[in-house]
Amino acid sequence: MASSSHDRAVLHNGVQMPWVGLGVYKAEDGDEVIQAIKWAIDAGYRSIDTASLYENEAGVGQAIAESHVPREELFITTKVWNTDQGYERTLEAFNASLERLGLDYVDLYLVHWPVPEMYKETWKALEKIYNDGRAKAIGVSNFKKHHLEDLIADAEIKPMVNQVEYHPRLTQEDLLSYCKEKGIQLEAWRPLLKGEIFEEPTLVELAEKYNKSVAQIILRWDLQNGVVTIPKSVTKNRIEENIDIFDFELTNKDMSRISALNQDKRNGADPDDPEFYKQFD
């Protein structure tokens, strides 16, 4: 289990991935995202999670270029958006992302959503990008077990990561154990439920018990479950707080109390909802 911010998860191809990264969804391109990343790097983050959808890859790239940290220490993730899926379009979208980021490789490239009828062709493009050495690892996002099974049946390369909505209201225990069994690293998006769970009495009680914030309790629960986590903030003290989770350990009983808050309740779209994909037709 991660015991310092320098510890990394080891993906099935041997690539190391920080346990905590900075999410930058809805961080504005330009000053806002650049400043957030600089604060994050100063606080010890080495991993940044963006996507072409977020329209801030240029700012992410600028922050990386201006950072004092060598490129090889950083772990940069971006994703192919739904309207860019398919083999050729994904290759083009990847080139455009690299250009905006000002990089010659990313650490992790993800299929953002399992767009029906499309994701297998998209995956072939990711395999090519990986084989060409332009992504150190490739993975998927919002894939349920059936999507993973379907993909793996035809894939040359098994995804190294699956980034999914994951928090105490959506603990996805079956998916987590399936991914562990297959050597696919689970990564939590919206880990803090955008703060909407901060008043939950069990979490407030545990925060008092461990003398930590509710955000820190939740993020620590991610780590102890073996889940990589990418909380978002553009506020300096919150960015610092969200990575300050390596100096305490939740007991097994407290881990179970948090997991018992599960309601199988999504905040974002259900990856099987056809209505969600219709907007991209």
Query: Which chain residues interact with ligand NAD by CB under 6 A?
Result: 23-25, 49, 112, 141-142, 163, 189-195, 213, 215, 230-233, 238, 241-242, 268
**Measured from the CB of residue 35, what is the shortest distance to ligand NAD in angstroms?**
15
- What whole-number distance in Å separates Cα of residue 74 and Cα of residue 88? 28
- Among 133, 126, 125, 116, smallest CA distance to 270 is for 116
Q: Which is nearer to ligand NAD, 132 or 195 (CB)?
A: 195
**Measured from the CB of residue 79, what is the shortest distance to ligand NAD in angstroms?**
6
- Among 16, 147, 4, 139, smallest CA distance to 79 is for 139
Handedness of CA 138, 143, 148, 152 (dihedral sign): negative
Q: Which is nearer to ligand NAD, 11 or 215 (CB)?
A: 215
Q: Which is nearer to ligand NAD, 56 or 67 (CB)?
A: 56
Which amino acid type is present at position 166?
Y
Q: Which residues contact 140 (CB under 8 A, 6 or more apart)?
A: 110, 111, 114, 119, 123, 147, 148, 151, 159, 161, 162, 163
Q: Which is nearer to ligand NAD, 133 or 246 (CB)?
A: 246
**Catalytic one among 45, 54, 109, 119?**
54
- Among 176, 217, 223, 184, smallest CA distance to 198 is for 217
3-state secondary structure 169-185: CECCHHHHHHHHHHCCE
Residue nearest to ligand NAD (CB): 23
**Measured from the CB of residue 215, what is the shortest distance to ligand NAD in angstroms?**
4
Residue 100 tokens, joined: 């905006």
**Measured from the CB of residue 49, what is the shortest distance to ligand NAD in angstroms?**
4
- What whole-number distance in Å separates Cα of residue 55 and Cα of residue 76? 15
Q: Which is nearer to ligand NAD, 49 or 57 (CB)?
A: 49
Active site residue 54: yes
**Measured from the CB of residue 171, what is the shortest distance to ligand NAD in angstroms?**
15
Residue 29 tokens, joined: 């391109």
Catalytic residue numbers, as ranges: 54
